[in-house]
Structure 1
């Protein structure tokens, strides 16, 4: 069975990533509105009924702003650490809130989601590996450095959303104030193109079919530049830049021939209720 992945939005204006199989899916973060999430899902043929849970990486608004309405409307459990929930002040219905702990897998139907810690300037930040039928998808953004947790999990991924936030020269020469430049480039800020590329070159597994470069800065990066940078070292991995303005295509992971596709259920959605 294949796994389908898509970026619904990626950037400081909102982050939301979809990972699922034919029957069920999870969202990693929901930093765009419920209405925009619905519109983008519909445009790429992904039924909202397949979403069974939301997992929250950290409390910054570009990752959580859409959660209260989305979770309430579709009665979705929200997996979030207590410190993240408190700091984010989302005032979610307690019945919808489920805590998680790093490296304790959570089952959502046939999908398993495993969180792992990372360096970022948030209360209790995590990234995730979403697994289904021995296919691992990493959602690894908002990281200040490629720590051992990031390296270990990235090296097991068949596909990944990986942060490539800024070009060092563009950040250094850009209009941002000094304190913000320091924050972005610190060990608890964001991953640069060079840092992300080093992680990719040194730790990309041979079976990684897709890499979606994510959370690009509007002012301090260039999509064409970073795509070309990674394609020089792709060695068979398809490189995609996740947009901050629109949804990506749906990518099918795990087939003998891996292509950009729309899932079979685009025309016949499977109605499936995991949480009664």
Structure 2
């Protein structure tokens, strides 16, 4: 059974990632409006009827602002830690709130979602691995450093949304005040292009077919720059930059082949990219 992934938006203006199979799906974070989530999913041929739950990584507004309306309209359970619920002050129906604990897998149909802790300046931040049919998809953003939890989980992924937030030189020479530069580059801020690339080079499994570089800074990064950095070391992995302005294509991650799924009104390339899955 294949797994389908897409970024609906990625950046400080909102984050929302889709992971699902043919029957059910989950959203990791919901930092854009319900209406925008619906529009973007429809444009790439995804259906909200397949979404069965929302998982929240932490309480920052660019990850939770769309949760109350989306969860209420579609009666979706929201998996969120108690400290994140309290700190985020989201007004959710108590019946919709389901706590989770790191490394205790949660089953949603044929999907298994496992949270793991990370370093970030939030109350109780987590990243996630979504698994189906032995295919692992990592959603690994908003991390201050590649700690042992990040390394261990990234090394098991067949595809991943991986943060590459800033170029170190652009941040140093940019207009941000000193305290904000320190927050971003500190051990509980965000991952730089160099840090992300080091994680990729050292710990990428041979079978990783796709990496979607995520949560790029508008002011302190250059999508073309970071894509070229990763392409030099891709070794068969397709590198995609997740946009802060629009949804990505839908990528199909499967046991035998990995393809880009494009809506019917768009041009479909005449090729299939074979993955290294065994």
TM-score by length of 1: 0.95
CA distance in 1: counterparts of 2:226 and 2:263, whole angstroms: 29
Structure 2 residue 192 is the aligned partner of structure 1 residue 192: yes
Residue 214 of structure 2 is matched in structure 1 by 214
Structure 2 residue 41 is the aligned partner of structure 1 residue 41: yes
Structure 2 residue 81 is the aligned partner of structure 1 residue 81: yes
Residue 249 of structure 2 is matched in structure 1 by 249
Residue 271 of structure 2 is matched in structure 1 by none
CA distance in 2: counterparts of 1:262 and 1:94, whole angstroms: 38
Cα distance per residue 1:104-161 (max 9 Å; x no partner): 0000000000000000000000000000000000000000000000000000000000
Residue 25 of structure 2 is matched in structure 1 by 25
CA distance in 2: counterparts of 1:115 and 1:83, whole angstroms: 15
The answer on whether the counterparts of 2:135 and 2:255 sit within 8 Å (CA) in structure 1 is no
Post-superposition shift, 1:263?
8.7
TM-score by length of 2: 0.94
Residue 167 of structure 1 is matched in structure 2 by 167
CA distance in 2: counterparts of 1:219 and 1:99, whole angstroms: 35
Residue 117 of structure 1 is matched in structure 2 by 117
Residue 128 of structure 2 is matched in structure 1 by 128
Residue 269 of structure 1 is matched in structure 2 by none
CA distance in 2: counterparts of 1:222 and 1:7, whole angstroms: 18
Post-superposition shift, 1:82?
0.1
SS of the aligned residue for 1:128 comes to strand
Can you give the 5+ residue segments of structure 2 that lack an aligned partner in the other structure? Answer: 265-278
Q: Deviation above 2 Å: which 4+ runs of structure 1?
A: none
Residue 228 of structure 1 is matched in structure 2 by 228
Residue 56 of structure 1 is matched in structure 2 by 56
CA distance in 1: counterparts of 2:44 and 2:155, whole angstroms: 29
Residue 271 of structure 1 is matched in structure 2 by none
Residue 4 of structure 2 is matched in structure 1 by 4
Structure number with the bigger relative contact order (C-alpha 8 A, sep ≥ 6) is: 1
Post-superposition shift, 1:27?
0.2
Give the CA RMSD over aligned residues. Answer: 1.0
SS of the aligned residue for 2:261 comes to coil
Can you give the 5+ residue segments of structure 1 that lack an aligned partner in the other structure? Answer: 265-276
Post-superposition shift, 1:255?
4.4
Residue 270 of structure 2 is matched in structure 1 by none
Residue 272 of structure 2 is matched in structure 1 by none
Post-superposition shift, 1:256?
2.2
Post-superposition shift, 1:254?
1.3
